[in-house]
Structure 1
Amino acid sequence: MADILAIFTDPNGVKNTPFEITTHLSDMSIDETQALALKLVDSLVHLKDESGSFRVPLPNGGFKVDSKSWNNWEWTQGVGLYGMWVLFEITGDESVLGHIKDWFAFQFKKGTPTKNVNSMAPMLTLAYLYEHTGEIKYKAYLESWAEFIMHGIPRTVERGIQHITFRQANEQQLWDDTLMMSVLPLAKIGVLLNRPEYVEEAKRQFLIHIKYLVDRRTGLWFHGWTFLERHHFGEALWGRGNSWVTIAIPEFLELLQLPADDNLRVFLESTLEQQVAALKKYQSPSGLWHTLIDDADSYLEVSASAGFSYGILKGVRLGYLSEEYREVGMKGLEGVVNNVNEKGVVENVSFGTPMGADKEFYRKIRLTAMPYGQAMTLLSVVERLRQYL
């Protein structure tokens, strides 16, 4: 494979440090791949917003939420935890498990934050941690947070989960992020604690989100839907929002272990395949995808690309996607790995992105290292490790 010079441009027109595509996954041994995974973890747990420039103020203009630094509780860290858990599952590395345990111990001592769609994200990893350790103290947290999603969170028309965040209520809005941040944890807790009503609710949430967020023209997903004005906001086919779906569907199907002829499984598989067929069409020569998937003038974005690579490769491995898509996933993963710097920091990751009223909003989101960039890259690297088994 010839080396490619990949140049990425930030939303303000300033070129980021170019990355020369010289790392080829086919040349990496299992030990080298695992070393890369551990380097990603080390950088993840040391992430900090030293300048404070990425802290997001609450609507009252007071306290600012730090979603970039590791020792805080938001969806960004929640995805980070899950990336580490998946690595622990395949390696049994106790240092990785220690990072997870330490994070929860620190947060529980500090006190849990306000419950919302995004702050639910760490509960997915906590459910796996409880299953692994049997630590009874974890169970009460799982029950409390799952009950909030079942009965306490605001609902939209047709009883969709309203995407309420720490900043705003987002009245009558569905976002594609919700499936990853709240619905997967609810399903896992339902299976783990034998609460079938949680699992059934998770199934219904997948269906209602598909009903209102899938773009029938492309098979890709819109970022959000409002029942108040009944539209898709800026009609953005946003990369990372789509990647949550590419991750969530294989995770959900693996969790439920539905038979191959189960109608929900067939429906979710076809939904995933339609999306991935479109992703194949829009994949750039570098292997990455643009932050607006169908807009080649928007910047190439690494966290979405990592999520796509992971979901595609896992979907192929588990038989949810046809074998023809393996090459798409591997090409994407190679592009992602070549955006990891020498310190193990994943570059060219877009900052946390609320709902945009137009497509220009997404083009202007700043690029920085984030916990989910580390974690989504870690997920895709772990999927590569599975190919050695």
Structure 2
Amino acid sequence: MSKFLKKQTFLVLLALLIASSIMAQDIPGRIPVYEVPYEYPDVEGVKEVLNRVRDYYESTCDFRIIDVETNKDITDFSKPNKNALMSPGFAGEWSYTHGVVLSAFEYIDDVTGEEEFFANNTKFYDWVLEYLPYFKEHAKVFNKEKVGSWSRLANFHALDDCGSIGAAMIKTYLKDKNDDYLPLINRVDEHVSKNQFRLDDGTLARHRPQYQSIWADDLYMSVPFLANMGVLTGDNKYFDDAAKQILQMAERLYIPEKELFDHGWSVTSGDYDPRFYWGRANGWTLMAMAELLELMPENHKDRGEILHLYRSMVRSIAALQDGSGFWHNMLDKTNTYTETSCTAMFTFAVAKGINEGWINHVYGPVALTGWNAITTRVLENGAVDGTCEGTTFAHDNTYYYHRGKSIYATHGYGPVLYAGAEMLRLLRNEKIEVQKARINSRNSTFHYKLKSEWPKE
């Protein structure tokens, strides 16, 4: 071949290589476009979200006792006023969702040392104790239990009425040591431990919606309270009962091939109960397990079995996470909407498991992408959007598919606060090194690595 042809061939090949390189960079779709930013969060950013949610939540109630007809403050408490009511708002409710928020505030105080969060706990419970005698007298005089969300206080009918918010009250007591809290804590214990309906084997249950029904939700409405009673009293019977609830509900609700919990079960349907894998029900289950694993004795006989359930559920939800970082309202049905509260619950549970060493650190990106998704649902004013409304234990997909979602579904606030607190711990976890994804890279992801596994350089 002549020198001229060699030179021409070389130039053609060089041109092809350059063109190929240019085309490789310019072909649309080679750089992934993420629905939710695929970024590594920072401590200050997480704190900003937590403070924004707290500010909004605090703003919802002004802590007044009012005449509902005139909307004027009641100042004379010497005799009951027929129209007396607590001023409305999330932050003044005696409700299980407020209990989750108050527990999260206490946890954030532990994680950050920022007292503004826990101050809400003392403010709320002191307010309850100050005016509870007045509303008890009110009920006697007017034969009326309906005093807003505080009607639950007059007579506990279900675990929803007292378990979650009772657990938060114990946590508050353990910090501020106000002995005035103890009679109400003991009333909650009397209901959970003695008065709440149970199956013959001791499993907590309801006669709703079917005769002798078990709800996965009730694991969170009972287990955290029982575990914290164990801490408060030092009596292992509470840890035994909490563990029994998880394991015996799992016998009816946990589906091994799915590694998920069915929302509910009843004697009516028994072994052929229809199965619906509602996101928040599984979230309640994982959060309840996390609290018990943290508080129960390390040598408790049931710890290993509960840890297995926890790990298997984490493995399952990791695979079910949507590409946006969210989870769907019905976990196994991707044509249901992505939902905020279960996403926050799972993000918390995964991050918590890594921080405590219950699950492997390789799950780190699951928590990270979950948190990034959550932040897109926290509005500028701090309201949490995209949370499924309160949901009964139902028996048809049509019902579950069409649940509403809004900022007024308060089930999302506590889990978002918990998720943020646990993400702060994960970001500060000194045992882990994170290889971060490169921005605008064709092939780059997050790798969480355990430092102790790698040889020192």
Same fold (TM over 0.5): yes
Change (3 A) 1:169 1:157: farther
**2:376 aligned partner:** 338
- Report if aligned partners of 1:163, 1:178 keep a CA contact under 8 Å in 2: no
Change (3 A) 1:81 1:3: farther
Could you tell me how far apart the structure 2 residues matched to 1:130 and 1:328 are?
A: 34
**1:9 aligned partner:** none
Change (3 A) 1:38 1:163: farther
Residue 170 of structure 1 deviates from its aligned partner by 5.5
**2:48 aligned partner:** 35
**1:170-198: CA deviation from partner (whole Å, max 9, x where unpaired):** 64111111111112111211221123222
**1:235 aligned partner:** 275
Q: Secondary structure at the match of 1:284?
A: coil
Residue 157 of structure 1 deviates from its aligned partner by 3.5
- Report if aligned partners of 1:69, 1:371 keep a CA contact under 8 Å in 2: yes
- Report if aligned partners of 2:49, 2:375 keep a CA contact under 8 Å in 1: no
Q: Secondary structure at the match of 1:332?
A: helix
- Report if aligned partners of 1:157, 1:227 keep a CA contact under 8 Å in 2: no
Q: Secondary structure at the match of 1:159?
A: coil
Residue 340 of structure 1 deviates from its aligned partner by 1.2
**1:341-386: CA deviation from partner (whole Å, max 9, x where unpaired):** 1111211110111111212211111001133312111111111111
Change (3 A) 1:180 1:358: same
**2:406 aligned partner:** 368
Select the residue among 417, 432, 436 that pairs with 1:378.
Answer: 417
Residue 32 of structure 1 deviates from its aligned partner by 2.9
Select the residue among 103, 112, 115 that pairs with 1:94.
Answer: 115
**1:277-319: CA deviation from partner (whole Å, max 9, x where unpaired):** 1112211100111100000111110110100010011011111
Select the residue among 70, 77, 81 that pairs with 2:91.
Answer: 70
**1:5-39: CA deviation from partner (whole Å, max 9, x where unpaired):** 4xxxxxxxxxxxxxxx34x66253x2332122111
What is the correspondence of 1:168-317 to structure 2 with a 5 Å cutoff?
A: 171-230=211-270, 234-259=274-299, 263-317=301-355
- Report if aligned partners of 2:388, 2:406 keep a CA contact under 8 Å in 1: yes
Select the residue among 117, 126, 132 that pairs with 2:159.
Answer: 117
**2:145 aligned partner:** none
Could you tell me how far apart the structure 1 residues matched to 2:276 and 2:155 are?
A: 29
Could you tell me how far apart the structure 2 residues matched to 1:334 and 1:157 are?
A: 45
- Report if aligned partners of 1:246, 1:308 keep a CA contact under 8 Å in 2: yes
Residue 229 of structure 1 deviates from its aligned partner by 3.0
Could you tell me how far apart the structure 1 residues matched to 2:210 and 2:104 are?
A: 28
Residue identity matched to 1:73: W
Q: Secondary structure at the match of 1:158?
A: coil
Could you tell me how far apart the structure 1 residues matched to 2:245 and 2:426 are?
A: 32
- Report if aligned partners of 2:214, 2:264 keep a CA contact under 8 Å in 1: yes
Indicate the structure (1 or 2) with the bigger Cα radius of gyration: 2
- Report if aligned partners of 1:173, 1:224 keep a CA contact under 8 Å in 2: yes
- Report if aligned partners of 2:243, 2:306 keep a CA contact under 8 Å in 1: no
- Report if aligned partners of 1:162, 1:170 keep a CA contact under 8 Å in 2: no
Q: Secondary structure at the match of 2:214?
A: strand
Residue identity matched to 2:368: M
**2:34 aligned partner:** 4
- Report if aligned partners of 2:103, 2:171 keep a CA contact under 8 Å in 1: no
Q: Secondary structure at the match of 2:91?
A: coil
- Report if aligned partners of 1:234, 1:356 keep a CA contact under 8 Å in 2: no
Could you tell me how far apart the structure 1 residues matched to 2:413 and 2:129 are?
A: 23
- Report if aligned partners of 1:162, 1:171 keep a CA contact under 8 Å in 2: no
**2:426 aligned partner:** 387
Residue 226 of structure 1 deviates from its aligned partner by 0.4
Could you tell me how far apart the structure 1 residues matched to 2:255 and 2:88 are?
A: 30
Could you tell me how far apart the structure 1 residues matched to 2:397 and 2:129 are?
A: 39
**1:102-147: CA deviation from partner (whole Å, max 9, x where unpaired):** 2212333443243221122111111111111111111221122112
Structure 1 length as normaliser, TM-score?
0.84
What is the correspondence of 1:97-176 to structure 2 with a 5 Å cutoff?
A: 97-111=118-132, 112-115=153-156, 116-119=158-161, 120-163=163-206, 171-176=211-216
- Report if aligned partners of 2:389, 2:405 keep a CA contact under 8 Å in 1: yes
Could you tell me how far apart the structure 1 residues matched to 2:339 and 2:273 are?
A: 21
How many pairs does the alignment contain?
351
**1:45 aligned partner:** 58
- Report if aligned partners of 2:90, 2:410 keep a CA contact under 8 Å in 1: yes
- Report if aligned partners of 1:72, 1:107 keep a CA contact under 8 Å in 2: no
Larger deviation, residues 208-217 vs 263-272: 263-272
Could you tell me how far apart the structure 1 residues matched to 2:373 and 2:273 are?
A: 30
Percent identity of paired positions between Structure 1 and Structure 2 = 22
Larger deviation, residues 286-295 vs 224-233: 224-233
Could you tell me how far apart the structure 2 residues matched to 1:227 and 1:68 are?
A: 38
**Larger RCO, structures 1/2 (Cα 8 Å, 6+ apart):** 1
- Report if aligned partners of 2:351, 2:426 keep a CA contact under 8 Å in 1: no
Larger deviation, residues 308-317 vs 90-99: 90-99
Matched, 1:357 2:378: no
Change (3 A) 1:67 1:243: farther
Q: Secondary structure at the match of 1:174?
A: strand
| CA RMSD across the alignment | 2.3
Larger deviation, residues 362-371 vs 303-312: 362-371
- Report if aligned partners of 1:174, 1:225 keep a CA contact under 8 Å in 2: yes
Could you tell me how far apart the structure 2 residues matched to 1:128 and 1:352 are?
A: 25
Residue 92 of structure 1 deviates from its aligned partner by 2.4
Change (3 A) 1:233 1:108: farther
